[in-house]
Structure 1
Amino acid sequence: MKRGTDARKRKSALRAPAEPFTVPAPSGARIRDRLRLSARDVEVLLIVGGHLGRHARADLAERVRIGIVPLRENRRADRKRALTRVSSSRWAGAITRASEDQYQLSLRCLLDERASLRRTILKISRRLAVPCGHRTGGVRGYSTQQERALKQRRLQVLTARLAELEQRIEAGRPAVVVGGRRLATVRHNLADTDLSESEWRKRWDAQRMFLTADGESGAPYGNYTITVDPADGAVALVLPEPLRHLANTPRGRYRISCAVSFNHRRDEWLDRVTANRAVRYDITYDAERGRWYLDASWSTASATLPTPAELAATGVRLLAVDLNADHLAACVIDAHGNPVGRPFTVPTHLIGTSSQRDGRLRAAITELINIAKANGCAGLAIEDLGFADARATGRETMGRGRRGKAFRRIVAGLPTARFRERLRGMAHHAGLVVVAVDPAYTSRWGAQHWKQPLQEQSKTTVVTGHHAAAVAIGRRALGHGTRRRPGVTAHDQRIVQRRATGQTVPRPRARGTASPPRTTGTPHQGIKTCRDRSDQLALFPVSQHRSGRQTAGPAGVPADLGRHR
């Protein structure tokens, strides 16, 4: 009796999954083209970027000293006035805007780190309150005294870090390393890298340059500070006041000898610059490759996307995708929640440098979009993965030993945020909608209810638990239950081989009524299973036995002679 009560408690403890939602479309666009500069151009850009970078770092330090204040009290006007004397009004506006954005981002990072530390401390404290080898209220104590002692020491370290973090948040002083903390750490460990001091200095100076010009509607070609002529692709920038002697064109401007074309999304860029709408430009230098780039970015109009309920009402298909460490498992789901065709596996192989990983991820998403279009899908369904709590608590929630370590390594390697952002932008440009669902129990219920039926439907494809999880994701995105309803699909060879599942919600019919006779071309009503729309023309029942033999009907007549061709 006690075992049954515990089982009922565990069953009632299952949390209700959140409602699916449509992932919003990207709110901006960014394109890039390479600048093939001359030696004189490189010299001028290094001087200008270094000059503006020094003043940008000084302004950021001043903003940090001001601390957490309302927006109207951050003294931006005074700081901009001081920067105008050493640059220009528009350069000063871009610098103060970037300083405010960097400060707010650093402050949000501090708040996220505090929340992570609090979750970890709470989890360890709960386990320390339980004796070793015991379980109280669903909380398991540590297995040995040695592990308990190590966790007590770990708790003290985390508590000290939290106290220091609280002081920094209260003072409003986040630590910001312009150029990157990782690159700054490399400077003290050059012996462990392949970099010389001069090579490191080149990368460090390239990261600390400031060559960003905010767009301005009504300005020539959408930007007065950095201007790109759409006719010939000529690039010119306004020089700061102390560097006007470097100008090679009138009004203190320097024209770069090369031109840009912006092949990707060129039509959108041309529409904006010809209408003098705001376009932001960033000039960056990749010291590792020795290449200069010009980035153009602008905001886009917010699009109204259909909700999951509206998608389900229109009877569209979705391509459900399950994200894994080394591949993407996908399956096409129709409007009734049934898997259609065979499942798909798209390898990712996210290894190598960051650019290689990003390129392989883009290639995998492109293949998903092609599969969705080939199967007539209106969008894609994914899990709303974050792993923020799991990564924060680590071993406390994701197991211990070899299996726990391997699982934590897999979770850390999943590109959840990068995959979501890349998929959102690429799917929107392809005309597809992305629906995110709660990931609760998709793998467990998918393997329990959909792996075997999906394997029976897909004879030539090896179905894994990830494909079954994709079916659960797609059904949840369309508003259907993840688990199969008992008794929907009868245990009959003809029905089981015909389809993996029945209709999710059959149409009710009053007792004593009969369906009207169907003819060829009459749509199926969804209340009984048939092989095709013309099965009423068959003289004898059609066998679904796929061994290649013809099953004889009554009086020795082959059963397939009456099929409509």
Structure 2
Amino acid sequence: MSHANTNPTSPEDVVGVRWRMWRGGESGKRYGNETIRITPDGRVSIRLPTPLAHHANAPHGRYVLACRVAFAHRGTEWADRIEANRAVAYRIHLDAARDRWYITASWQIPAAPAIPLTAALVHGVIGVDTNADHLAAWRLDVHGNPIGNPRRFCYDLSGNAMHRDAQVRHALTRLLHWARTCGVKAIAIEDLDFAAEKTREKHGRRKRFRRLISGLPTSKLRARLTSMADATGIAVIAADPAYTSKWGAQHWQQPLTTTKRSTTRHDAAAVAIGRRAQGHPIRRRTAPPPAHRSDEQGHRTVQAGPETRGREGPRPRIPGPRTRSVPPGHGAYAGDQNAQHRSERSAEHVPLMLSP
């Protein structure tokens, strides 16, 4: 619950002889309430009944108050709800002792059900790369393959705190709307935290780089995304950010670039983040140099097709004499390519499921 004070020029014209007014929220209506509507910039309007329609000073029989309001307590949470058109109830009342009018906003927060990681990833995932001025996102299927084209959700972090907060909220609202449209139930984002990583002792005289990481809204954006996604039933997965930009640009930027699509380094990093959240390796298999191929210029680089059975399982046991004490296919890590730390196949980090 949150409240703000206001002092309309003619309160009698709005509420008549009544000193209070209450209206329940309506989910799906504009800004969460059709009768008492408050815009994100704090402008209050009331839809008047038919007998009082002649007092309207705005279209559609609405009366707009001369002043604007602001919610100091849980103001960001209130703004998230009205941006998503979720129900918000309002109560307008007069404090006779202070001779002030107050507006109280209230809403109900349902208990969020726990979603297993496997269930959240059943429809794929959207990988998100956080940058200083935009969010680079790409949708991946259950096998870690990019689908469609990358999306970019821009925001401007210049100006005052209210402007920056509104920009981040608007970008996240568009991201969640796209996720609901695609039917994806999980969003993967980097687990970044520059709280202790932007000092001069850490990066020396690299003022430009320190200014860059200081402008990244990492912790605030992740907390805001978790809160907003919880209300829409979308899970947020925090992935380890190690080497996502480097390996994404090295292994995914060039293969995903076509004559009609220019893939940026940030788009490739979004693919790497999504694959890591799904448990897939980021780096692609590449062919060794010709001089080091075992069968002299004939090394096989073609991957097995999706119809090939057992393409991801361990190698079959080959009968015959053995020179090692442990036969092939029976070791402790047989079939586990990531655990063997082979070339171009490294052990990936386990994703972290975030909760509000």
Normalising by structure 1, we get a TM-score of: 0.36
Q: Does 1:411 align with 2:213?
A: yes
2:52 maps to: none
- Report how far residue 372 of structure 1 moved: 2.0
Structure 1: which amino acid aligns with 2:220?
R
Q: Deviations over 1:468-504 (max 9, x none)?
A: 11111101111222322446xx756xx8xx99xx99x
Which position in structure 2 is the counterpart of 1:473?
Answer: 273
Distance 1:282 1:437 in 2: 47
Distance 1:408 1:471, change over 3 A: same
3-state secondary structure, aligned to 1:440: coil
C-alpha separation between the residues in 2 aligned to 1:351 and 1:282?
Answer: 37
Please list every run of at least 4 consecutive aligned residues from structure 1 whose deviation after the TM superposition is greater than 6 angstroms: 31-34
Q: CA deviation at 1:320?
A: 0.7
CA distance in 2 between partners of 1:267 and 1:387 (Å): 33
Equivalent residue in structure 2 for 1:370, among 177, 183, 196: 177
Q: Which amino acid aligns with 1:345?
A: R
1:127-164 CA-partner distances (Å, limit 9, x unpaired):
xxxxxxxxxxxxxxxxxxxxxxxxxxxxxxxxxxxxxx
8 Å Cα contact 2:194-2:213 kept in structure 1: yes
- Partner in structure 2 of residue 449 of structure 1: 251
Q: Summarize the Cα distance change of 1:300–1:346 in structure 2 as closer, same or farther, 3 Å threshold.
A: closer
Contact 2:136 2:267 in 1 (8 A): yes
Residue in 1 aligned with 2:222? Answer: 420
Q: 1:303 to 1:341 in 2, by over 3 A?
A: same
Q: Given the alignment, which residue of 196, 200, 223 partners 1:395?
A: 200
- 2:120/2:235 contact within 8 Å kept: no
Structure (1/2) with the larger strand percentage:
2
2:312 corresponds to 1:506 = yes
Give, in angstroms, the shift of residue 39 of structure 1. 8.4
SS state at 2:203 partner: coil
Indicate conservation of the 8 Å contact 1:318/1:379, yes or no.
Answer: yes
Task: Name the CA shift for 1:40/1:335 in 2 (closer, same or farther; >3 Å).
Answer: closer
CA distance in 2, matches of 1:308, 1:383: 16
Instruction: Decide whether aligned partners of structure 1 residues 293 and 508 sit closer, same or farther in structure 2, where only a CA change above 3 A counts.
Output: farther
Cα separation, partners in 2 of 1:344 and 1:298, compared to 1, 3 Å = closer
Note closer, same or farther for the CA distance 1:32–1:377 as it changes in structure 2 (3 Å cut): farther
Go from structure 1 to structure 2 and tell me whether the alpha carbon gap of 1:506 and 1:383 turns closer, same or farther (over 3 Å shift).
Answer: same
Is 1:302 the counterpart of 2:111? The answer is: yes
The 5 Å alignment of 1:273-288 reads none
Amino acid at match of 1:407: F
Look up the match of 2:163: 356
Tell me by how many angstroms 1:36 deviates: 4.5
Are residue 345 (structure 1) and residue 147 (structure 2) matched? no
Cα pair distance change 1:509/1:292, threshold 3 Å? farther
Q: Is the 8 A contact 1:308 1:479 kept in 2?
A: no
Give the deviation of 1:405 after TM superposition: 0.8
Letter in 1 for 2:312: P
The equivalent of 2:241 in structure 1 is 439
Q: Which residue identity is paired with 2:275?
A: R
Normalized per residue, the structure richer in helix is: 1
Provide the rounded CA distance (Å) in 1 between the counterparts of 2:2 and 2:242.
37
Query: In angstroms, what is the RMSD of aligned CA positions?
Result: 4.4
Deviation at 1:414, TM superposition (A): 0.9
| 8 Å Cα contact 1:327/1:348 also seen in 2 | yes
State the AA in 1 paired with 2:247: W
State the SS of the aligned residue for 1:434. strand
- Cα deviation code 1:367-415 (max 9, x no counterpart): 2123323333222111111112203xx1232242xxx111100111111
What's the offset of the Cα at 1:454? 2.1
For the residue of structure 2 that corresponds to 1:385, the secondary structure is coil
Aligned to 2:142: 335
Residue identity over aligned pairs, in percent, reads 40
Letter paired with 1:385: L
Q: Which amino acid aligns with 2:274?
A: G
SS of the residue corresponding to residue 466 of structure 1 reads helix
Hey, what does 2:283 align to over in structure 1? Answer: 483
CA distance in 2, matches of 1:432, 1:306: 9
In the alignment, which residue of structure 2 is the partner of 1:37? 8
Distance 1:385 1:266, change over 3 A: closer
User: In structure 1, the residue corresponding to 2:227 is in which secondary structure?
Assistant: helix
Say whether the 8 Å CA contact 1:328–1:347 is kept in structure 2.
yes
Larger radius of gyration: 1
Name the SS of the counterpart of 1:390 in structure 2.
Answer: coil
| Residue 307 (structure 1) shift | 3.4
Q: 1:307-356: CA deviations, max 9, x gaps? A: 334434xx321111101001111111111112222222222122222222
Q: Is the 8 A contact 1:317 1:333 kept in 2?
A: yes
Change (3 A) 1:338 1:292: farther
Amino acid at match of 2:248: G
TM-score with structure 2 setting the length: 0.55
1:222 corresponds in structure 2 to none
The 1:349/1:427 distance shift into structure 2, 3 A limit, reads: same
- Structure 2 CA distance for partners of 1:399 and 1:510, relative to 1, 3 Å: same
User: Which residue in 2 is equivalent to 1:461?
Assistant: 261
Once the two structures are superposed, residues 36-65 of structure 1 have per-residue CA deviations (whole angstroms, 9 ceiling, x without a partner) of 435899xxxxxxxxxxxxxxxxxxxxxxxx
Residues 367/269 of structure 1: CA separation in 2 closer, same or farther (3 Å cut) = closer
- Residues 346 and 364, structure 1, Cα contact 8 Å, conserved in 2: yes
Q: Kindly state the Cα deviation for residue 300 of structure 1 after the two structures are TM-superposed.
A: 2.9
Q: Secondary structure at the match of 1:453?
A: coil
**C-alpha contact 1:330 1:345 (8 A) present in aligned 2:** yes
CA 1:268 to 1:374, structure 2 compared with 1: closer, same or farther past 3 Å?
closer
Please list every run of 5 or more consecutive structure 2 residues that lacks an aligned counterpart in the other structure.
13-19, 25-34, 37-64, 70-77, 95-99, 288-299, 319-356
Distance 1:373 1:406, change over 3 A: same
